[in-house]
Structure 1
Amino acid sequence: MKQYAAIFLLFFGLSACSSKKDDDAGGGIKKEIYFKLTIDGVKRELENIHYARAGKNVQLATWGKDGFPNLNVVLTTKTEGDFSGSYPYHYDISAGTSIILYGIGDANGYESHWWDCPIDAPLLVKSPGTIVIESVEQKGSDEFITGKFNVEVYQPQGDCPYQEVKTIKLTSEFRLKRAR
């Protein structure tokens, strides 16, 4: 998870809060800003929600009062325009892919992939889920995204070969306003 700390810090620096309250999305229509999250089927409300975008890099982040738990969702779009679509999970965050990091404490985190360790070469095991950006809306100078994701995040236990790979299932629906 340390290898992705730089990604988190880069985008965290670009982030500004999105409000959970109703927000005027333009045109006189009130639209709610929300981030609905379930962890292993249990609804969870986290304190802070951020959405930032720099070029083709998009980041959603949310965390609890003292920083934990925290969830960092990063995707790399293929275009800077309308980037609606599905983003499968992959460790390298190449164009058209995403990664999710879920931290529950210091040095206690989960990722949307893990490396199995067969004798001949490591084997990438990716979450079968995807992030779906359903819409990207421009309302005046504001940008809103609506989407959802489902993901299994993994935490291998011990050294290779792993005795166990812990798994947590996360699902979310969101509508967020881009930070400025």
Structure 2
Amino acid sequence: MIAGVDYSMTSPAICLSPLSEFKYETCIFSYLTTLKKYDIAAENIFGKYFEYDNEIKRYDTISSHFLNMLLDYNVRTCYIEGYSMGSKGRTFNISENTGIFKHRMWNFGINFIAIPPATIKKFATGKGNANKEKMQRAFIEETSKDIKQILNMTENQWNPSSDIIDSYYVCKYGFHQETLKNE
């Protein structure tokens, strides 16, 4: 298995795919949310509600969930969306959170490769500056699946759907990179 992770603060998501072929139907998605209404399982998408009362508890919960997914599915390489250079606000929190996850992967011998967000966007849409709408459109065109519809989201809501979509393209990018290595 290979993994692609969108390690956001609001609803981090992971996409797991077999190394034999990459397609939506064989992927497994999981995400974390602080909104109880998204604690659902639909098709191959599994949301899990969690609470936290401080940032370290939040980081620990998120990294534990994703590390357990990697270990449970025997993932040896995890592709993770890198930092956005245009990020505003809580950049130190994002860095601390991601650093804990990377450290835990390293402790378990899981390789991780960070991919710049612009690379993922260009891979998905042909444009390195694609917004959430373009990413969603590309995903629907490719998979015929509307994550917002599957999760009963409104058109104006973006999380967790955008994180799931990002994790899908990070995983797909990783799958293609691993395929190139093995040719």
Structure with greater strand share of residues: 1
TM-score range, shorter chain: under 0.3
Q: Which has the higher contact order (CA 8 A, sep 6+)?
A: 2
Tell me the TM-score normalized by structure 2.
0.25
Who wins on radius of gyration, i.e. which is larger?
Answer: 1
Higher helix share: 2
What's the TM-score, normalizing by structure 1? 0.26
